[in-house]
């Protein structure tokens, strides 16, 4: 084909006025996940001290909340807390009376507060923290040959399982976290490690996070970690193990930081970033300590959350595409940065094809499954289409303006629209109304005919939107007109259900293709991606670790978001089979006897293999 796909640079003068996401987060939530709106005080700072008793799986905690009254004559507060038992509550004046119920604790203040007054309320509590919907504290989780203990946020209300708090996404606070653990273990939390104290058989790690964050991205992780610095940026740390090879997972973290700093803005968290090796069921963007033992694209996804979701946070959960849709699109931008524009277009096509194949047709906002494919893949597709519609400069300037205007704060989609309307100098409600707030996507039916006119040919192209759900979608639609030796690309601004336009070409048309570069989310996208000859980016073999293994392995295969893995013994017999995705990278090999195996991986576009050695614990 003579034609090469490029982004359409549309002159702004022509523009008229259960499923699971990539990172495998749980989708448990209900209508009570909605934020409760303004309340009587603002949480400013949490000072949390936790002693971890991994042997009996219990925690002893002390936490202080610095709050500022938002009303006159504030005599008491109600906080969220569930699972452990509060022993006492106090402030600087003395003991406070309190009532602990199933999911709340009510506290009577010693003195009424006027609007703007502050007070620090302290709590002593303990017990075994619960796990609900994946959130809470997880004990003795296995990754390779190691056990870890960690807290997970990420469900709409998750701070309450670890400390008394106001557990809404928009009420951000700074954090100090003190973690006391057995002296053979290392404890990690958000922010900067500012102090380490040794005791009798224990070590206490003090982590300070000066910027305000939502509690759902606060976390801790405890294991027999060693600390390894990144070879390019010493401020990036890996909390790992001597028998784990870092390079296959995190070998490109430095370039991912370069990519997102160049594309978005400077890394906003005081050069604090670390990666705990913990065996989670999904990947999580806990601020400065993302849990992401996964493939390259998901590592990029979780790093990008330090801009999308953490730095600028959705005001309420139904707007979560402002975090997850943008992080998914950041995967594609990483592909473009590292492997070229062809890799970007292939990646976005796979995202759009997967979304269409899912059968989902819901609006992005308000989200009905916070960690579903509509939020992630349709959200990323909307950004891909917006870039196509308004052009490179307006698109990337809009991203940067949105971040700059809303740094460390909470936003809505309306704020995003304002930013893009400013940088594009055009009104964009028509785009967001259909793609974000409405149902479905277009289903185009194409017909064409040509008539010779002198030395040229007149090509009449008719397009009809035949979808039965959703609006008529207004979009610039490209058509590739191909002849035997020539081709040309033409554009129709399609804003009605049935439309016909005529174009003049200098050759006999043989074929007309609608949307040849896959710039539009639509019905009719073919299954899979056909590999193009002479692709400009490499296809590395799968990575398997730990190897040798005795119970489970992580299988990573770059440029493949999902694939089938089969384990063959030396006789060529398939002894194990599993489906691997970028969100679920682990395969259980505990049923296999000690020996040498071959792991074959296969996707819709390619196949490869790698050796695996299994050593049963009793054989070591």
Task: Please tell me whether residue 539 adopts helix, strand or coil conformation.
Answer: coil
CA nearest neighbour of 84 among 65, 105, 64, 67: 105
- The full DSSP string for 84-95 is SEEEEEEETTEE
Q: Which residues contact 567 (CB under 8 A, 6 or more apart)?
A: 574, 575, 576, 577, 587, 589, 592, 597, 598, 599, 600, 612
pLDDT at residue 249 in the model: 86
Task: Please tell me whether residue 423 adopts helix, strand or coil conformation.
Answer: helix
Asked if 18 and 279 count as a contact pair (C-beta separation under 8 A), the reply is no
**CA separation for the pair 387, 393 (Å, rounded):** 9
Asked which of 140-144, 174-178, 242-246, 361-365 is least confident by mean pLDDT, the reply is: 140-144
479-493 as b/e, with b when 16 or more CB fall inside 10 Å? bbbbbeeebbbbebe
Contacts 24+ apart (CB under 8 A), 356-362: 356/441, 356/521, 356/522, 356/523, 356/525, 357/527, 358/19, 360/19, 361/439, 361/440, 361/441, 361/469, 361/470, 362/439
**CA separation for the pair 328, 297 (Å, rounded):** 9
- The full DSSP string for 136-156 is EEEEEEEETTEEEEEEE--SS
Strand-strand pairing, 552-556 and 498-505: unpaired
**What's the mean per-residue pLDDT of the chain?**
88
DSSP state of 77: E
**Taking residues 12-17, what's their average pLDDT?**
32
**CA separation for the pair 179, 51 (Å, rounded):** 6
pLDDT at residue 56 in the model: 92
Q: Which residues contact 115 (CB under 8 A, 6 or more apart)?
A: 69, 70, 71, 72
Asked which of 54-63, 137-146, 463-472, 526-535 is least confident by mean pLDDT, the reply is: 526-535
Ramachandran quadrant class, 286 (left: phi over 0; alpha: psi -120 to 50; beta: rest): beta
**CA separation for the pair 190, 214 (Å, rounded):** 12
Q: Which residue did the predictor score with more confidence, 244 or 163? A: 163
pLDDT at residue 531 in the model: 37
pLDDT at residue 28 in the model: 43
Asked if 72 and 115 count as a contact pair (C-beta separation under 8 A), the reply is yes
pLDDT in tens, 90-149: 999 999 999 999 999 999 999 999 999 999 999 999 999 988 767 788 888 877 677 888
97: how many CB neighbours lie within 10 A of its CB?
11
Asked if 435 and 471 count as a contact pair (C-beta separation under 8 A), the reply is no
For helices 321-339 and 413-424, give the axis angle rounded to 10 degrees.
50
C-alpha torsion angle, residues 342, 347, 351, 356 (rounded to 10): 40
pLDDT in tens, 38-51: 689 999 999 999 99
Q: Do domains 39-304 and 543-619 have the same CATH topology?
A: yes
Asked if 326 and 308 count as a contact pair (C-beta separation under 8 A), the reply is yes
DSSP state of 193: E
pLDDT at residue 554 in the model: 81
**Taking residues 266-277, what's their average pLDDT?**
95
**CA separation for the pair 135, 161 (Å, rounded):** 8
Q: Tell the CATH topology of 39-304.
A: Immunoglobulin-like (2.60.40)
**CA separation for the pair 392, 8 (Å, rounded):** 9
For helices 379-390 and 341-358, give the axis angle rounded to 10 degrees.
130
Q: Which residue did the predictor score with more confidence, 66 or 137? A: 66
pLDDT at residue 66 in the model: 98
Asked if 122 and 48 count as a contact pair (C-beta separation under 8 A), the reply is no
Give this prediction's pTM: 0.86
33-42, 154-163, 406-415 — most confident range: 406-415
**Taking residues 457-485, what's their average pLDDT?**
96
Q: Is 187 a residue whose pLDDT tops 90?
A: yes
Asked which of 17-26, 384-393, 404-413 is least confident by mean pLDDT, the reply is: 17-26
**CA separation for the pair 537, 559 (Å, rounded):** 10
**CA separation for the pair 74, 77 (Å, rounded):** 8
pLDDT at residue 605 in the model: 64
pLDDT in tens, 302-347: 999 999 999 999 999 999 999 999 999 999 999 999 999 999 999 9
**Taking residues 374-403, what's their average pLDDT?**
98
pLDDT in tens, 485-522: 999 999 999 999 999 999 999 999 999 999 999 999 99
Q: How many Cα atoms are found within 13 Å in the side-chain-facing hemisphere of 262?
A: 11
pLDDT at residue 363 in the model: 97
DSSP state of 439: -
**CA separation for the pair 111, 123 (Å, rounded):** 18
Q: How confident is the model at residue 534 (pLDDT cuts 50, 70, 90)?
A: very low
pLDDT in tens, 416-438: 999 999 999 999 999 999 999 99
Q: Is 358 a residue whose pLDDT tops 70?
A: yes
Q: Please state the φ and ψ torsions of residue 339, each to the nearest 5 degrees.
A: -120, -5
pLDDT at residue 376 in the model: 95
**CA separation for the pair 278, 154 (Å, rounded):** 16
Percent of the chain predicted with pLDDT > 70: 88
CA nearest neighbour of 53 among 131, 137, 160, 118: 137
- Tell the burial category of 572 from Cβ atoms under 10 Å away from its Cβ (0-12, 13-18, 19+): exposed
The first and second tokens of residue 150, run together, are 């960690």
Sign of the torsion angle spanned by Cα atoms 52, 53, 59, 60? negative
Task: Please tell me whether residue 379 adopts helix, strand or coil conformation.
Answer: helix
- Domain ranges in the chain? 12-25+317-435, 39-304, 444-514, 543-619
CATH code at 543-619: 2.60.40.1220
4: how many CB neighbours lie within 10 A of its CB?
10
pLDDT at residue 4 in the model: 40
Asked which of 21-35, 206-220, 452-466 is least confident by mean pLDDT, the reply is: 21-35
CATH code at 12-25+317-435: 1.10.390.10
C-alpha torsion angle, residues 182, 274, 376, 267 (rounded to 10): 150
**Taking residues 590-610, what's their average pLDDT?**
85
pLDDT at residue 10 in the model: 33
Q: Is 475 a residue whose pLDDT tops 80?
A: yes
Q: How many residues does the chain have?
A: 620
Q: How far from each other are the two terminal CA atoms of the chain, in whole angstroms?
A: 57
Q: How confident is the model at residue 583 (pLDDT cuts 50, 70, 90)?
A: low
pLDDT at residue 99 in the model: 98
Q: Please state the φ and ψ torsions of residue 69, each to the nearest 5 degrees.
A: -65, 140
Contacts 24+ apart (CB under 8 A), 90-93: 90/121, 90/122, 91/119, 91/120, 91/121, 91/122, 92/119, 92/120
């Amino acid at each position: 084909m003579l034609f090469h796909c490029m982004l359409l640079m549309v002159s702004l003068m022509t523009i008229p006025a259960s499923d699971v996401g990539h990172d495998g987060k749980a989708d448990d939530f209900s209508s009570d996940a909605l934020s409760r709106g303004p309340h009587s005080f603002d949480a400013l700072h949490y000072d949390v001290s936790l002693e971890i008793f991994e042997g009996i799986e219990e925690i002893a905690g002390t936490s202080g909340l610095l709050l500022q009254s938002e009303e006159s004559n504030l005599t008491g507060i109600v906080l969220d807390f569930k699972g452990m038992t509060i022993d006492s509550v106090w402030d600087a004046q003395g003991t406070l009376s309190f009532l602990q119920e199933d999911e709340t604790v009510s506290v009577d203040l010693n003195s009424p507060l006027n609007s703007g007054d502050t007070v620090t309320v302290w709590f002593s509590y303990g017990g075994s923290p619960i796990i609900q919907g994946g959130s809470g504290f997880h004990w003795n989780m296995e990754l390779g040959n190691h056990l870890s203990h960690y807290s997970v946020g990420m469900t709409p209300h998750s701070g309450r399982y670890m400390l008394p708090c106001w557990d809404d996404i928009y009420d951000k606070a700074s954090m100090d976290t003190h973690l006391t653990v057995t002296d053979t273990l290392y404890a990690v939390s958000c922010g900067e490690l500012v102090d380490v104290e040794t005791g009798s058989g224990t070590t206490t790690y003090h982590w300070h996070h000066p910027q305000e964050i939502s509690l759902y991205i606060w976390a801790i992780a405890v294991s027999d970690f060693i600390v390894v610095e990144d070879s390019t940026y010493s401020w990036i740390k890996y909390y790992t193990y001597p028998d784990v090879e870092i390079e296959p997972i995190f070998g490109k973290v430095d370039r991912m930081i370069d990519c997102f700093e160049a594309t978005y803005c400077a890394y906003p968290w005081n050069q604090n970033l670390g990666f705990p090796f913990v065996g989670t069921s999904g990947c999580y963007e806990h601020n400065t300590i993302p849990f992401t033992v996964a493939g390259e694209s998901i590592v990029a996804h979780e790093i990008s959350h330090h801009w999308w979701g953490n730095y600028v946070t959705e005001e309420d959960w139904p707007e979560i595409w402002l975090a997850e849709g943008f992080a998914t699109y950041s995967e594609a931008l990483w592909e473009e940065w590292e492997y070229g524009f062809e890799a970007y277009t292939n990646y976005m096509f796979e995202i759009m094809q997967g979304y269409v194949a899912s059968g989902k047709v819901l609006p992005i906002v308000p989200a009905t499954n916070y960690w579903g494919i509509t939020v992630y893949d349709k959200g990323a597709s909307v950004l891909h289409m917006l870039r196509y519609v308004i052009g490179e400069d307006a698109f990337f300037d809009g991203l940067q303006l949105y971040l700059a205007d809303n740094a460390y704060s909470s936003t809505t989609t309306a704020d995003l629209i304002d930013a893009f309307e400013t940088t594009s100098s055009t009104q964009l409600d028509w785009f967001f109304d259909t793609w974000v707030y409405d149902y479905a996507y277009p289903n185009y039916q194409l017909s064409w005919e040509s008539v010779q006119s002198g030395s040229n040919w007149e090509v009449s192209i008719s397009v009809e939107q035949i979808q039965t759900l959703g609006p008529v979608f207004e979009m610039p639609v490209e058509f590739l007109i191909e002849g035997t030796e020539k081709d040309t690309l033409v554009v129709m601004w399609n804003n009605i259900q049935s439309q016909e336009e005529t174009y003049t070409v200098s050759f006999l048309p043989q074929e007309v293709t609608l949307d040849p570069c896959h710039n539009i989310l639509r019905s009719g996208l073919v299954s899979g991606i056909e590999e193009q000859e002479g692709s400009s980016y490499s296809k590395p073999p799968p990575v398997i670790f730990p190897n040798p293994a005795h119970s489970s392995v992580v299988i990573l295969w770059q440029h493949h978001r999902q694939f089938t893995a089969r384990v063959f013994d030396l006789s060529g017999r398939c002894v194990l089979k599993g489906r691997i995705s970028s969100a679920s990278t682990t395969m259980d090999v505990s049923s296999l006897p000690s020996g040498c195996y071959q792991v074959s991986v296969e996707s819709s576009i390619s196949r490869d293999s790698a050796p695996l050695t299994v050593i049963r614990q009793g054989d070591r």
